[in-house]
């Protein structure tokens, strides 16, 4: 996940944000500067993006939530909570393999990330419970 150069981050974030209609409507068109001074766009706040992602998820807007969490990762790839947020969205969407990958990425940044540790344990319990239910169904003749 750390293979992007710093110069690619603003472009990738803009592409992620603009590719969703709800986000494209909120982005203001750039204004041409009167002088030839360089204009530097501030980086979006990763904590704000994570908060927006969690709000979107709460409203049932999973695609927007995913894009916002991904933008938070692009804004600050060294922030474990952004990976946790993206993993939480995947876990809620019943995509445990993707969730597990992002929790593991958070743990590679911060091995003491309690949120990721608990979430992986819950995913593992769920997988164990599912295997047990499948095995029980096979013993009783249920598919």
Tell me the per-residue pLDDT of 40-63, one tens digit each, with 9 for 90 and over.
557 789 999 999 999 999 999 999
Question: Is residue 37 in some structural domain?
Answer: no
Q: How many domains does the chain have?
A: 1
Q: Which residues, in sequence order, are CB contacts of 71 under 8 Å at separation 6+?
A: 13, 16, 17, 44, 49
Residue-number span of the structural domain to which 112 is assigned: 9-24+46-140
110 assigned to some structural domain: yes
The answer as to whether 127 is a domain residue is yes
Q: Per residue in 66-82, pLDDT tens?
A: 999 999 999 999 999 99
18 is a domain residue: yes
36 found inside a domain: no
Taken in order 84, 126, 108, 19, the sign of the CA dihedral is: negative
Residue 46 has which token pair? Answer: 């990763």
Query: pLDDT band at 1, cuts 50/70/90?
Result: very low
């Amino acid at each position: 996940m750390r293979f992007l150069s710093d110069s690619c981050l603003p472009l990738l974030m803009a592409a992620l944000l603009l590719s969703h209609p709800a986000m494209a409507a909120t982005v203001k068109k750039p204004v041409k500067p009167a002088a030839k001074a360089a204009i530097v766009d501030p980086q979006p706040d990763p904590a704000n993006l994570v908060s927006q992602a969690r709000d979107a998820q709460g409203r049932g807007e999973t695609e927007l939530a995913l894009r916002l969490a991904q933008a938070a990762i692009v804004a600050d790839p060294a922030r474990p909570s952004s990976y946790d947020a993206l993993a939480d969205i995947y876990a809620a969407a019943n995509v445990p393999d993707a969730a597990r990958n992002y929790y593991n990425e958070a743990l590679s940044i911060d091995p003491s990330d309690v949120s990721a540790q608990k979430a992986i344990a819950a995913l593992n319990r769920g997988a164990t419970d599912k295997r047990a239910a499948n095995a029980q169904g096979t013993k009783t003749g249920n598919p």
